[in-house]
Amino acid sequence: MKLREIKELLAAEVIWGENHLEIEIDTVCASDLMSDVLALGKPGMLLITGLSNVQSVRTADIIEAKAILYVRGKKPDQEGISLAKKKGIPLLATKYLMYQACGLLYQKGLKSVHD
pLDDT digit string (tens) for 6-47? 999 999 999 999 999 999 999 999 999 999 999 999 999 999
H helices present in the chain, as ranges: 3-9, 34-40, 54-63, 78-87, 98-107
Taking domain 3-112, whether its CATH number is 3.40.1390.20 is answered by yes
Q: Which residue ranges make up each domain of the chain?
A: 3-112
Q: How confident is the model at residue 86 (pLDDT cuts 50, 70, 90)?
A: very high
Task: List the beta bridge partners of residue 2.
Answer: 24
Report the distance separating Cα 70 and Cα 68, nearest Å: 6
